[in-house]
Each structure stands twice: as C-alpha cells, then as structure tokens.
Structure 1
Amino acid sequence: MPVKPPNFLKTGTCGNHMNELVQAIKILRAGYFWMTMESDCCKYVQRFHQCQIYSDLIKVPLSELNAMSSLCPFVACGMDVIGPIEPAASNGHQFILVAIDYFTKWVEATSHKSVIKKMVADFIRNNIICRFGIPEFVITDNGANLNSHMMKDICE
C-alpha cells in the first residue's frame, strides 16, 4: 500500500513542488523513506494539479523569443501592482505600484494601502510624465485599476 506524503510537504513553506525528484528530496530531508518512494512521487505528481501547472516544461515545443527593445528611455514601460504583502509595512501599506522602463530597466515604485484608479493616475503623472516625459507605450496586465478611463485621459 503506497504511503501518502505528509501534509506539510504538499505546498510547504517554499510553495509547490516542481517535479517528482524535488518531491522525493523534500520527503528525504523531512526524514522519511520507503522503498517505493520515487515511483509513489511520480504517481502523486502526475495526479496533483498544482504540480502540473508549475512543473518543468521540458517537452514544450520551442518557440521564438521576442526581445523587447525601446529607442530611448521611457518610450515603453511596464506597470504592475505587487501585493498584498504580508505583513504590512509599518505605515500600513500592503501594495507596491511599479513601473519599469524597457530601455534602461529603471524602476519607479511607490507603496500604498490600496491601489485605486486615482493613485495609478497620480503615479503616472508625478513619477513618469513629470520626470521622464510622456511614454508612447504603457504595458499592463489589464487590471481594473491600471486600465481605466483616468489612464486613458492621461494618455491622451
């Protein structure tokens, strides 16, 4: 009868396991061993959904890499929100609003208690436009706070 790995090894402190070898190593480091451990890990990883999502993509067909280039600083920049961060900062801020220039890799970041549309618009105006000029492209993940009418007004 196969032995199930202990519950704390399923996600653990370092997140999900990547493949059966990593799972077996985690079990060994925790002080467990059984004769069919490697085959049990193979079967477990094949059934566990999160293992399949975060597994090594060795057998994926090759695809061409697209280099992102820019002609000068802050012509194209990417924006995203990091968070919520636990524990919160001493001032209560849990989110970080980040903009990265694709030419120089310069990072502009500010922390906030919550990231609303007005804060994003103020961030673009004060930290990007006033300091570096108007960017031609602002690439986001289409989050509601990053893709709003206020952003469109600023871009126009």
Structure 2
Amino acid sequence: MQYNLSKKYEWPGMYTQIRNFVSRCQTCLQAGRAVANTNFHMLTASTPGELIEIDTVGPLPCTPRGNKFIITAIDHFTKIAWARAVTHKSADCVLRFLTEDVLTIFPDAKNILSDNGLEFKSATTLKVMNEKGIHWKFGSPYHPETQGVIERFNDTIMRKLKKVCNFSHDTWDTAVHLAIDAYNKSFHRAVGCSPFELLHKETPLFSVDAGLVSKKHLKNFRTYTRNQEE
C-alpha cells in the first residue's frame, strides 16, 4: 500500500498514517503473515515469457457457481501472474486458461513448468503447446523446490483472496480477479517494482485514483510516466 500510494500522492505524516491504518486492519492481521527481509533471489529467466510456471489450488469450498479450484500461473522474469476459478481440475480447464489468459500476454512463451498432475499431462494440451513452439517441463516429485516460485505465489494469492472477500466461502471465486490485480500491482522485492510496472512500463492506476483526480489528469499522468521511463 505504501509503495503504490507514494508513487502518486504525498501528505504530512503519510507513512505513519499508512502504517497505523494497516496495523489496525483486522482482515489484514488475520489473513497476513510476517514477511522476513531476505536478499533478492536470482531470476530464473532472462526474458519475459522464457519460463512460465503453472499450478492448481484446491479443492476449496464449492461456491454457488460450482467453482472448487483455482488455476494459477506466474512468469519467472516479470513475476506477472494469472489466476482463474474453475469447477474442475481438468486438462480442458488448463488449456483454456493458458490460451485465453496466459498466452494472450506472452504468445511467444518458451517454456512452461508444472508438477506431474494429470491435468497437465493431456496429450491435447502438450500437442497444442508444441505447435506453438512451447516446451513443457515437469518438475521432479523428489525435488518439489523446483516449483518454489509458484508455491510462494499460491500462498500470497490465497492470503490476498482472504483479505479481498473477507473469508466468505461462497463468494471467493468472484474475488479472484481482484486478488490477482492487487498482486500484480503491488511492489515485488525480486524485481524492485510491481509486476505490472515491469511488464507495461507504466505506473498502475487504481479505482481510487478516478475519484481523486480528473480523467484528463490521469491521461496526462500516464503520458508523463512513459516519457520519464523513455
């Protein structure tokens, strides 16, 4: 919160007020966890889309819409991530998720990494990825640390989801897009900015911005940040 606000706003006592506000947020206290200060991890990819990791979370409490699982994915270089609520942990759901969500951002992705779940071993999915020039890699069940990036992301997105939907078991699937948007627009220590900024080369805007400044100012702000980065 502090990182995103400081990019666009400033007022006397800002940082103290933000810390006090967050420290009193009961939802944040229940869903959050203490994060230790660690050194930056070396990136495992040298370009966007070089390595994308995919996984599934669940089963979760079944919602009125029948959703019980979340398919997640993260790009190792930019840390940009995706998540989709689904009814079944199936190969069809995985293929739709990849083609409709992930590959619309990285159509020239090089490698996809997953565990050995049956939903990832569909001959159809592997054939489609192969035709796109994408190599599918499977992590070793004896070395689960090879999926460490996606496991950490899954933990993060579940905590954000709990905050967004306030622990509601029957509406969590309607909040997945809000949780993933919050993650992608939040500061990430591994890349030194938010994944959104690294991917799009511009500062993200939030719904609150529209209520505080005019549309003309927001347009000018985007133009200004692009010019600064160029």
Match of 1:119 in 2: 93
Q: TM-score, normalised by structure 1?
A: 0.53
Match of 1:141 in 2: 115
Letter in 2 for 1:79: I
User: How many positions carry a matched residue from both structures?
Assistant: 90
Alpha-carbon displacement from aligned partner over 1:17-74 (angstroms, at most 9, x marks no partner):
xxxxxxxxxxxxxxxxxxxxxxxxxxxxxxxxxxxxxxxxxxxxxxxxx945212222
Letter in 2 for 1:155: M
Q: 1:123: Cα distance to partner?
A: 1.1
Q: Percent identity?
A: 24
> Following the alignment from structure 2 to structure 1, what is the Cα–Cα distance between the partners of residues 108 and 99?
9
> Following the alignment from structure 2 to structure 1, what is the Cα–Cα distance between the partners of residues 84 and 54?
12
Listed as ranges, the gaps of 5+ residues in structure 2 are 1-40, 131-230
Alignment of 1:91 onto 2:55: no
Q: 1:135: Cα distance to partner?
A: 1.7
Equivalent residues of 1:82, 1:95 under 8 A apart:
yes
Match of 1:75 in 2: 50
> Following the alignment from structure 2 to structure 1, what is the Cα–Cα distance between the partners of residues 78 and 42?
14
Equivalent residues of 1:95, 1:114 under 8 A apart:
yes
RMSD of the alignment, in Å?
A: 1.7
> Following the alignment from structure 1 to structure 2, what is the Cα–Cα distance between the partners of residues 67 and 142?
25
Listed as ranges, the gaps of 5+ residues in structure 1 are 1-65
Match of 1:33 in 2: none
> Following the alignment from structure 1 to structure 2, what is the Cα–Cα distance between the partners of residues 132 and 70?
14
> Following the alignment from structure 1 to structure 2, what is the Cα–Cα distance between the partners of residues 121 and 110?
12
Alpha-carbon displacement from aligned partner over 1:56-102 (angstroms, at most 9, x marks no partner):
xxxxxxxxxx94521222210110000001x2234221100001110
Q: TM-score, normalised by structure 2?
A: 0.37
1:1-156 aligned at under 5 Å gives the runs: 67-85=42-60, 87-156=61-130
